[in-house]
Structures are given as structure tokens and as C-alpha cells.
Amino acid sequence: MLWRKFKREWSYFIGELLIVTLGVLIALALDSWNDDRLERRVEDEVLGWLISDVESDTALFEASCP
């Protein structure tokens, strides 16, 4: 009787440990995905600025050349 109760408690413990571990791993994956998404957004913004600067500098250079 005591062994059966002990075995059942351990199975609940292992099940809950797996659920918590899985939850933490999912949270870490989502955090990493979100960081990558934000990095890409900043990268696109900086590339837009660079393209705009190059275009304006090119236009300015062509206007100043005879």
C-alpha cells in the first residue's frame, strides 16, 4: 500500500516536472524568436536610412558636378 502511494506521488512529480520544463523551454524559444524579430526590424530601418543617405548624397554629388 505504501509503495503504491509512493509510486503515484513520484509519477505526479515527474509529470509536473516535465510540464514545467516544457513551459520554460517554450518561453525561452518565444523570447529568442521575439529578439530576432526585433533585430530584423532595426536592421531594416538602418538599411533604409543608409539607402536614403546614399541616394541623397548621390543626387547632391551629381548636382554639384558640371
- 3 confidence band (pLDDT: 50, 70, 90): low
Give the side-chain half-sphere CA count within 13 A for 33: 6
Q: What is the pTM of this model?
A: 0.62
Q: Nearest to residue 33, comparing CAs of 44, 20, 22, 41?
A: 41
CA distance to 35, 42, 45, per residue, from 48 (Å): 20, 10, 5
* Sole residue written with cell 516536472: 17
Check residue 31 and give its pLDDT.
97
Check residue 42 and give its pLDDT.
97
Q: Nearest to residue 2, comparing CAs of 10, 62, 35, 42?
A: 10
Write the pLDDT tens digit of every residue in 6-51: 677 888 889 999 999 999 999 999 999 999 999 999 999 999 999 9
